[in-house]
Structure 1
Amino acid sequence: MTYIIKGMMNDSVLYYFLYDQTMKIMPAQRTGLGTNRVFSMKKNKITIIGLGNIGIEIIKRLSREFEIFCIDLTPDPAEILSTIRKDARFLQGDATSRLVLEEAGVGDSDVVIITTNNEKVNIEVATLLKEHFQIDRIISVGITKQGIERLEELGIEVESLFMAAAIDIRNRLEQYSRAAHAIGLGKDEILEVEVHPDSKLANKPIGALAPIRWKIGLIYRDNNIIIPRKDVRLKPRDRVIILGDPAVLKTVSEILTFNFQQFPMEYGTTAIAYLTGDEDYSFIDEIDYIFSVFPLKRIVFSCSKKAENNPGLLDYIREKDHIKDHDFINSILPPENAIYHAIDETRNEQGLIILSRHTLIDSRKHFVFSIGKKDFLHGISSYSYSPVLLCAGSFPYNRTIVPCTGSINLQHSLETAIEISLSLHNDVSAVLVEPSEYISSDADMALFNEIKKTVNEVSLMYKKSIDTVTLKGNPVKVITNAFSEYNLFINDISGMKRQGFITALLNPDILWLLIKRATISTLILPAVEESL
């Protein structure tokens, strides 16, 4: 991946804007996982042309995972470059020359950024790039109104030099993401927040937000009042009145203002775990790990009669370091009903339901048939509207896998994987299966390309590199084989079909087959349903 910055520009005010664009990179791909890979992985390549203040500052802040190639008209910056990034390569040359750009490998670029303070040069370089190279994105500094219009006519993304300065000053006077302001009773049950351009809720229709324990009251936009309806989209800089449970509103306001709160606080602060009595101590160890990395405040253990009579297991829970605030609820009800009862007892404050994969999904003791296990998970997810974690002992969660099948809400799964990675600092992989060239239809290929586009858009939105893995073969088989290289499998339950026995035979549920066969801990997200 290549980013090109041309010019010895001494004005550093644009650095922050262009660095933000530079970090919007395409997802990376790794080698490994056997012979089913279609693509191999190499470092994202960033080419910087013109090592002025902006170029140097960007290099200082770029991750070591990038390969950096620099071009400048004079040899002077080479010495500075060697002191801040020894692995970067340097070429002296004029970027308005097509031969120099070809030598730099600009044809492999995904993004080119032009930052000279000579607008004629910017337009000349942009024209050259458009005519002779296939580049997905070209970004240029614009100076005059006429110059900006000309660049935009060429299909160039333009950052106005003077607009950047004005926004920089504005941001010094007020926070870029405004804090929520309490009104009403003063208990933070009614908040006014400003939607940040990079919020995951920006530009989404309200009907797709699925608020639980909170609602949108009013939207203020350009001095107008907008009544929230399903088809109304939240726009960046909208001021939004939100109402609901103060604990939940705090997290929602942070999502809207792009100040991330850790997963799973947008759902609730309490975890509920079900104990059959057959769990080994590793299940408790994984729960303790979960509380060490996620900001859950309390856990309620719903205990079967057998668990109630297992003092060794209960004593082991009491000894753990991170689950000190815990309660036990004894129940003679079947697992599903016992969990429903625990949810009611916690006043719907649940943020995560924790189950043992080995005792409830892999075993036939509680559910003889596969369809019973599937209905159990559907019921728990629907009743709790919280993520359900099937623990398999594969912690710590150093690597997360999100299988990209056409049936799941992919964006929801990827966004959650990234939110979790902000807490765990782990790697996120999106795994795709390429349609067979012999039996796939045009619709299959269109869906495959749409999935790749979604992965890229989420990566750009969160400025988080997502490792894109493309496999060939039977989706269930190749993805199941890939699980061994990961610790956490994330999916959305909306992709898990409710089917009868005959229907399942004729039309297999890929996501359910993956969940059944997974050997790692599995996080099942609740479905996003229409609100209002």
Structure 2
Amino acid sequence: MKKILIILDGIVAKKLMRRIVESNTTENNYDVVYMNDAIVPDQKPSNFTFYKFDPTSESKLAMVLDKDIHVQALIALNSKDEMLNVIKNIKARKNTLHISILDYWGIEIEDPYINIYKGIEVLANGMVERLPNIPVMAQNIGLKQGEIMEIKIPFGSSYAYRYIGSIEQNEWKIFGLYRGERLINIKPSLILKPNDTILVIGKPTVLMQVYNAIGKSQGQFPMPFGHHLYFYLDMYIQTKQRIMDVVKEVKYLNQMFKNTKMIIRITRPTTVGILDYIKESFKDDDSVLIRIDYHYIDMRRHLKNDMKKYDIGMVILTNEMFRVKEYAREIKTLKVPIFKLGEELTGSIKKTTVIVNDINSYEQISPVIFDVASQLKTKTKIFDMDPIGEETDKTTLLNHFENLAKIFNQKVEIISNDENPIRELKKQSNTLQILPLKDEMFKQRFSWKFLYTNPDLISFDMKKYSQLLIPVIEE
């Protein structure tokens, strides 16, 4: 749950408090600071905690701020001086806290973390909308059933840092995006960012599901890529023992990820005995669908048909398949995350590992990292290492990781030094490495490994650990 701080006083406070209570979905916890008892509702929801004191008191406000990690603050007060004083006190302790204020006095603050709602302008706009020949709000357009919706992308959403082309849009569609004060043209390669506002159209019931999914920070993966998991197994290139090991791992993944279904596509079956073993392993699991190809239809046809038919959000493959040219050619075209099964399979992943390389791609995959960690119940280790002295400043990215960890309520350990990151990776055990999926990974490389310094490429070539490869837009 997200913790929200609300500070209220003045003529609109009671109405605003009632509106917040009426809109309560129990998905948030609220700390409410007030001075006038008239503001407090008769029925206090269990997820609201009320504090009566003067919010301009720095020491008293600090008590509430230090008690919990708030993701946002909403402030409506009776005077400009009180408002500025409270903002100053909050910024002194929580400089990156997102704050929304109701302003009737013309407050001018240049701060990316403060949203100012001009009270007089809001009232004027509401009255103007009632005049003839004036554009109205979306709820009065079309069938007037809510088929057009405006949704803000919150920090930590699984939809943040996703490019639009990778988002499954079934019975709904993104048709507009506002970033700051500017309308952005929609294209598949456009990346959604926190605080973007998207305009969507579709069935009202579907849009409510999309709204809820975008607003949640945990337990969404493999969304927004798709809903279900897909395991493609070529039995001909695997040993019997290897098949038995990966089946156990796939069973574990199916239990941990909050997908609806797991589709197992078996091609080039070898023995009846091993087929029976696979069927027996999932016989009591209604969420698993096993499909067997006895005619060896090529991978492209299977993927084309199954991806669309089953709404696939993540494809699971053995690392042996990446060494087969015809498979590698098809794998690189996938637009969904790929779980590459390594040689070390324990049936229980203890930690997730990230070796930070370029800022752009790792910012894109950051929400997935912590969503996956929350579902696997693992601690995340982030290696920020620079053994060759490139001196790229990753401070902003590392702060971004720490903020996301707080939102997902996850433990994160950031290790920064000039050691060799691959050497550190090899020391890990029971780990899942998460890294961006890049075209360069599939290009032929020299056999002399010492010629390469890119940790993404070196990691990708390793066979020991399982890896989760997340598609990104490469600049």
TM-score (norm 1): 0.57
Contact kept in structure 1, 2:4 and 2:31, CA below 8 Å: yes
Decide which of 258, 261, 266 is 2:225's aligned counterpart.
Answer: 266
Decide which of 371, 382, 387 is 2:332's aligned counterpart.
Answer: 382
Corresponding residue of 1:247: none
**Are residues 1:136 and 2:96 paired?**
yes
**Are residues 1:152 and 2:109 paired?**
yes
Distance in 2 (CA, whole Å) between partners of 1:58 and 1:401 is: 43
Secondary structure of 1:313's counterpart equals helix
Q: Deviations over 1:208-250 (max 9, x none)?
A: 634689899883689xx997456878762524589xxxxxxx7
Distance in 2 (CA, whole Å) between partners of 1:291 and 1:112 is: 34
Corresponding residue of 2:131: none
Distance in 1 (CA, whole Å) between partners of 2:73 and 2:208 is: 35
Decide which of 308, 312, 317 is 1:355's aligned counterpart.
Answer: 317
Corresponding residue of 1:238: 199
Deviation of residue 141 (structure 1)? 3.9
Contact kept in structure 1, 2:434 and 2:469, CA below 8 Å: yes
Q: Deviations over 1:254-289 (max 9, x none)?
A: 379737765267347572421324225342233334
- Aligned residue runs from structure 1 range 54-453, under 5 A: 61=47, 73=53, 96=56, 113=73, 115=75, 117-126=77-86, 128-129=88-89, 135-137=95-97, 139=99, 141-144=101-104, 146=105, 149-150=106-107, 152=109, 157-158=114-115, 160=117, 194-198=149-153, 209-210=165-166, 219=175, 228-229=186-187, 236-240=197-201, 254=210, 258=214, 263=222, 266-267=225-226, 269=228, 271-274=230-233, 275=235, 276-278=238-240, 279-292=242-255, 293-296=258-261, 298-304=263-269, 306-307=270-271, 310=274, 313-314=277-278, 316-317=280-281, 319=283, 321-322=285-286, 325-330=289-294, 339-340=299-300, 342-343=302-303, 346=306, 349=309, 351=312, 352-357=314-319, 360=320, 373=323, 378-391=328-341, 392-395=344-347, 400-406=352-358, 409-418=361-370, 420=372, 424=375, 426-427=377-378, 429=380, 431-435=382-386, 440-442=389-391, 444=392, 446=393, 448-453=394-399
Distance in 1 (CA, whole Å) between partners of 2:440 and 2:395 is: 22
Distance in 2 (CA, whole Å) between partners of 1:345 and 1:140 is: 47
Contact kept in structure 2, 1:298 and 1:326, CA below 8 Å: yes
Deviation of residue 416 (structure 1)? 3.0
Corresponding residue of 1:455: 401
Contact kept in structure 2, 1:6 and 1:115, CA below 8 Å: yes
Corresponding residue of 2:437: 493
Secondary structure of 2:367's counterpart equals helix
Distance in 1 (CA, whole Å) between partners of 2:197 and 2:361 is: 23
Deviation of residue 373 (structure 1)? 3.3
Identical aligned residues as a percent = 9
Amino acid of the structure 2 residue aligned with 1:298: I
**Are residues 1:478 and 2:424 paired?**
yes
Secondary structure of 1:258's counterpart equals helix
Amino acid of the structure 1 residue aligned with 2:413: V
* Matched residue count: 422
Unpaired stretches in structure 1, ≥5 consecutive residues: 25-45, 63-67, 74-93, 170-175, 183-190, 243-249, 362-371
CA shift in 2, pair 1:254/1:381, >3 Å: farther
Deviation of residue 328 (structure 1)? 1.4
Deviation of residue 386 (structure 1)? 3.6
Contact kept in structure 2, 1:143 and 1:160, CA below 8 Å: yes
Contact kept in structure 2, 1:402 and 1:431, CA below 8 Å: yes
Q: Which structure: greater helix fraction?
A: 1
Distance in 2 (CA, whole Å) between partners of 1:416 and 1:218 is: 21
Deviation of residue 197 (structure 1)? 0.8
Contact kept in structure 2, 1:404 and 1:431, CA below 8 Å: yes
Q: Which of structures 1 and 2 has the larger relative contact order (alpha carbons within 8 angstroms, sep 6+)? A: 1
Secondary structure of 2:397's counterpart equals helix
TM-score (norm 2): 0.63
CA shift in 2, pair 1:480/1:95, >3 Å: farther
Q: Deviations over 1:272-321 (max 9, x none)?
A: 421324225342233334444422253221235x4567455355356453
Deviation of residue 428 (structure 1)? 6.4
Secondary structure of 2:438's counterpart equals helix
Q: Deviations over 1:397-456 (max 9, x none)?
A: 67544443327722443333455567x3735636141547xx6354x1x2x124225436
Distance in 2 (CA, whole Å) between partners of 1:15 and 1:252 is: 19
Corresponding residue of 1:507: 452
- Aligned residue runs from structure 1 range 32-71, under 5 A: 61=47
Distance in 2 (CA, whole Å) between partners of 1:23 and 1:411 is: 26
Contact kept in structure 1, 2:354 and 2:434, CA below 8 Å: yes
CA shift in 2, pair 1:412/1:400, >3 Å: same
Q: Deviations over 1:86-134 (max 9, x none)?
A: xxxxxxxx6545677789998x999895746332452351475499778
Distance in 2 (CA, whole Å) between partners of 1:233 and 1:387 is: 16
Distance in 2 (CA, whole Å) between partners of 1:469 and 1:505 is: 28
Distance in 2 (CA, whole Å) between partners of 1:4 and 1:269 is: 36
CA shift in 2, pair 1:258/1:490, >3 Å: same
Distance in 2 (CA, whole Å) between partners of 1:280 and 1:202 is: 34
Amino acid of the structure 1 residue aligned with 2:285: D
Contact kept in structure 2, 1:6 and 1:50, CA below 8 Å: yes
Distance in 1 (CA, whole Å) between partners of 2:4 and 2:350 is: 29
Contact kept in structure 1, 2:264 and 2:289, CA below 8 Å: yes
Amino acid of the structure 2 residue aligned with 1:302: T
Deviation of residue 501 (structure 1)? 0.8
Amino acid of the structure 2 residue aligned with 1:354: I
CA shift in 2, pair 1:203/1:127, >3 Å: closer
Contact kept in structure 1, 2:160 and 2:367, CA below 8 Å: no
Secondary structure of 2:365's counterpart equals helix
